[in-house]
Amino acid sequence: MIYGETTMGRCCTQMGAWLLNVNAGRCRQAAMMLAVALLATTVVATAQTAAPSKPIKLVAFGDSLSAGYMLAPSEAFPVVLGKALRQRGHNVEVINAAVSGDTTSAGRERVAWAVPPDADAIILEFGGNDALRGLDPGAAKINLEAMIKGFQAQKADILLAGMLAPKSLGDTYTKAFDRIFPDLAAKYGLLLYPFFLEKTALQQRLSLPDGVHPNAKGIEAIVADILPKVEELLGRVQSRRLAAAKG
C-alpha cells in the first residue's frame, strides 16, 4: 500500500510536471504568436508612416521673368526655387509653365493647356509686358481675374506675384496698374508677393544688360526673398489635403 501510494505519488508528480511543461509550451507558443502579430502590426505601421506623401505640384505660370530669359535652364526661377524648397525638406515638384514675351492676355489664352489640371498650387506672375507696352490696366486685371477663377475652380492655391508699372507712364496709369495685384489678392484671398523684381529692380549687378531681367544671381535673390511666401503657399496645400483626408 505504501508502495502503491508512493508510486501513485510519483505518477501524480510526473503528471503535474508534464502538465506544467505542456502549459508552459502553450504559453510560449501563445507568446510567440502574440510577438509575431505585434511585429507584423509594427511593420505595417512603420511602412505606412515611412511611405512618402504625394509631391505637391507647384506651377510657375508667367512670362520671361519666370521662364529664365537668357539664362541656362538650371538658372531659371522654377528650377532654383524647386532646389531651395527641396533643401528645406519640402516634397515638391516645380513646373516651369512660363513663356517669354507673354502678356496677361497671352497667358489667359494658353492657360487651359499650359497648366496641368491637377496642379496643387500656382505662382501667377504676369503683368510686366502689359506695363512695358502701356496696355490697358483694366484689361490686364480682367485677364488675371479670369485665370484666378479658373485655378480656384480646379482647387489650386495661388501666390500672386505683383508687378509695378514704370513711372514714365504717368501717375494715372501707374496708380491704376499698381492697384491690380493687391486688389485681386484681397478679393480672392490670395497670397501676395507685391513686386516680383523687388530685389533686382535697378540693381545692375543682379540684372542682365537690358536692365530689366534678372541674371542668375538676381534669380537667387528673388528666390531667397519669395521663399517664405512660397512655403506659406505649400502650407495651404497641406492644410487642404488634411481637411480632405478627414472628410
List the catalytic residues.
64, 210, 213
Side-by-side strand order, sheet with 56-62: 92-96, 56-62, 121-125, 157-161, 191-193
* Residue 170 region by backbone torsions, left for phi larger than 0, else alpha for psi between -120 and 50, else beta: left
Strand partners for 93? 57
Q: How many angstroms separate the CA atoms of 85 and 92, rounded?
A: 7
157's enclosing H/E stretch is strand 157-161
Cα separation values, 181 from 60, 196, 224, Å: 17, 11, 21
Nearest-CA neighbor of 161 among 135, 133, 134, 200? 200
42's enclosing H/E stretch is helix 2-50
Nearest-CA neighbor of 217 among 8, 22, 26, 72? 72
Q: How many angstroms separate the CA atoms of 101 and 74, rounded?
A: 20
Nearest-CA neighbor of 151 among 48, 236, 38? 236
As a whole number of Å, the end-to-end CA separation of the chain is 80
